[in-house]
């Protein structure tokens, strides 16, 4: 073997060892740090998910052994249970209300507050505070305010204001919009703060260029503001759609799905079947179906992202 080959081989081995160490640090060590989190997720997410899928195909009361029944729960759910269809329609109504009213209010509020410099923090805090209030406090507060015998509605009713002698939470036609109004009262301020943060990151030069081109306030909002906050807007539309299928707390605290199921949504139906009717297997089928609806909403945004949307 020549002297040149003897000198080159040690150099190649040194570079190979260095590359192996660098590759190890770059590819293996990060996974070692992530591994505990992945194991926790497998334990608390994947495990219960697989268990829910299994129990959704059983006749199980939540206690004791479960009898495997195949797809009987799903057949009953989609073809025999009218309460499921009603609750699903209520969820769609809830989603329609929250994809329009609070988002529009949040955009309007953020647009009005964006130019304000003095006292801006006070207004943001005042409008954000309802979001951090506990659901029990919000439910009790508004249940008293809109009661026909007391609160603001009772006060207006005593003075003869027409349309105020109504138990808004006791009528089937008004109970769901009333609870949605209460939930919107605390939700839209959170959206406004997010939209406002996005608007403040838009370069002022874009607005100046729009004004030089003769754009009015609406055209600035349409052509500069909305494109500038589109990732935030689309993300909050996605999350609002998901949370609309998971809403539970205010409805359960205020009406527990009543009167006569007029405010019953899928999550309330799951709770009742699992903990009141002791039909945990059927409740698991309901929960899996809700997850499929949420997955459908996510798939829409995945398709939009693949088509080039900034989400």
Q: Are residues 193 and 259 in the same domain?
A: yes
Res. 72: pLDDT tops 90:
yes
Of 16-20, 155-159, 237-241, which range is least confident? 16-20
Q: List all residues 6 or more positions away from 252 whose beta carbon is below 8 Å from its beta carbon.
A: 268, 271
Same domain? 47 vs 162: no
Dihedral (C-alpha) 152, 157, 158, 160: value to the nearest 10 degrees?
Answer: 130
- Whether residues 157 and 302 share a domain: the answer is yes
Instruction: Verify that 98 and 168 share a domain, yes or no.
Output: yes
The CATH number given to whatever domain includes residue 220 is: 1.10.3720.10
In a domain, 311, yes or no: no
Mean pLDDT calculated for residue range 227-236: 89
Please compute the mean of the pLDDT values over residues 166-174 and round it to a whole number. Answer: 88
Strand partners, 58: 68
Q: Can you give the pLDDT at residue 19?
A: 59
Residue 135 has pLDDT above 50, yes or no: yes
> Which residues on adjacent β-strands are paired with residue 67?
59
Whole-angstrom distance between the N-terminal and C-terminal Cα of the chain? 61
pLDDT band at residue 254, thresholds of 50, 70 and 90? very high
Residue owning tokens 């009987």: 72
- Predicted TM-score of the model (pTM): 0.84
Tell me if 95 sits within 8 A of 300, measured CB to CB: no
Give yes or no: residues 240 and 99 share one domain.
yes
Same domain, yes or no, for 178 and 50? no
pLDDT for residue 249: 92
**62 inside domain:** no
Cα distance between residue 232 and residue 227, in whole Å: 10
Q: How far apart are CA 249 and CA 297, in angstroms?
A: 22
State residue 17's pLDDT score.
65
Q: Which DSSP string corresponds to the chain? A: --HHHHHHHHHHHHHHHHHHHHHIIIIIHHHHHHHHHHHHHIIIIIHHHHHHHHHTTEE--SSS--EE-TTHHHHHHHHT-HHHHHHHHHHHHHHHHHTTHHHHHHHHHHHHHTT--TTHHHHHHHHHHHHHS-HHHHHHHHHHHT-TTSHHHHHHHHTT-TT-S--TTTSTTTHHHHHHHHHHHHHHHHHHHHHHHHHHTS-HHHHHHHHHTT--HHHHIIIIIHHHTHHHHHHHHHHHHHHHHH--HHHHHHTTT-STTTT--HHHHHHHHHHTS--HHHHHHHHHHHHHHHHHHHHHHHHHHHTT---
Question: What was the pLDDT predicted at 166?
Answer: 81
Percent above pLDDT 70 for the chain: 91
Read off the pLDDT of residues 260-270 as tens digits, 9 standing for 90 and up.
Answer: 899 999 999 99
Residue 66 in domain: no
Domain membership flag for residue 60: no
In a domain, 70, yes or no: no
Q: Is the pLDDT of residue 6 over 50?
A: no
pLDDT for residue 300? 85
Nearest to 143 by CA among 7, 256, 4: 256
Residue 122 and residue 31 share a domain: no
pLDDT digits (tens, 9 = 90+) for 276-286: 999 999 999 99
Q: Is residue 240 part of a domain?
A: yes
Residue 36: inside a domain:
yes
pLDDT at 262: 94
Q: What is the tally of structural domains in the chain?
A: 2
What pLDDT shows up at residue 100?
94
Q: Pick the residue with more confidence: 86 or 153?
A: 86
Q: Which domain holds residue 11?
A: 3-55
154 and 17 in a common domain: no
pLDDT range class, residue 1, cuts 50, 70, 90: very low
pLDDT digits (tens, 9 = 90+) for 89-125: 999 999 999 999 999 999 999 998 888 878 778 888 8
Q: Is residue 254 part of a domain?
A: yes
171 and 35 in a single domain? The answer is: no
Query: Is residue 151 predicted with pLDDT exceeding 90?
Result: no
259: left (phi over 0), alpha (psi -120 to 50) or beta: beta
- Quick one: 154 and 209 in the same domain? yes
Kindly give the interhelix angle for 230-246 and 266-275, rounded to the nearest 10 degrees: 30
- Same domain membership, residue 244 and residue 298: yes
For range 41-69, the mean pLDDT:
90
Q: Would you state the pLDDT for residue 8?
A: 47
Average the pLDDT over 68-77 and give the result.
Answer: 94
Q: What is the pLDDT of residue 12?
A: 57
Across all residues in the chain, what is the average pLDDT? Answer: 87
Same domain, 40 and 97: no
Q: Say which range, 56-60, 109-113, 266-270, 306-310, has the weakest mean pLDDT.
A: 306-310
Q: How many Cα neighbours within 13 Å face the side chain of 111?
A: 17
């Amino acid at each position: 073997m020549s002297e040149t080959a003897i000198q080159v081989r040690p150099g190649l081995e040194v570079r190979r060892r260095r590359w192996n160490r660098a590759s190890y640090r770059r590819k293996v060590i990060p996974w070692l740090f992530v591994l505990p989190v992945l194991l926790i997720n497998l334990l608390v997410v994947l495990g219960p998910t697989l268990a829910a899928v299994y129990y959704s195909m059983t006749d199980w009361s939540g206690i004791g052994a479960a009898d495997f029944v195949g797809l009987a729960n799903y057949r009953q759910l989609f073809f025999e249970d009218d309460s499921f269809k009603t609750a699903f329609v209520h969820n769609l109504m809830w989603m329609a209300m929250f994809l329009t009213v609070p988002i529009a209010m949040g955009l309007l509020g953020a647009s009005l507050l964006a130019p304000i410099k003095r006292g801006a923090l006070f207004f943001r805090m005042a409008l954000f505070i309802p979001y951090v209030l506990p659901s029990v406090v919000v439910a009790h507060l508004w249940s008293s305010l809109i009661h026909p015998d007391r609160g603001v509605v009772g006060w207006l009713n005593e003075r003869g204001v027409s349309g105020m002698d109504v138990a808004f939470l006791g009528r089937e036609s008004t109970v769901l919009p009333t609870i949605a109004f209460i939930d919107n009262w605390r939700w839209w301020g959170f959206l406004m703060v997010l939209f406002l943060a996005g608007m403040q990151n838009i370069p002022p030069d874009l607005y100046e260029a729009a004004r030089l081109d003769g754009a009015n306030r609406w055209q600035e909002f349409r052509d500069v503001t909305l494109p500038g906050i589109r990732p935030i807007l689309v993300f909050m539309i996605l999350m609002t759609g998901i949370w609309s299928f998971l809403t539970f707390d205010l409805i359960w605290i205020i009406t527990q799905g009543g009167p006569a199921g007029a405010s019953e949504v899928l999550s309330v139906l799951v709770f009742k079947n699992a903990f009141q009717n002791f039909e945990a297997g059927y409740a698991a089928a309901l929960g899996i179906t809700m997850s499929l609806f949420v997955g459908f909403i996510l798939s829409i945004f995945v398709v939009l992202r693949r088509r080039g949307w900034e989400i």
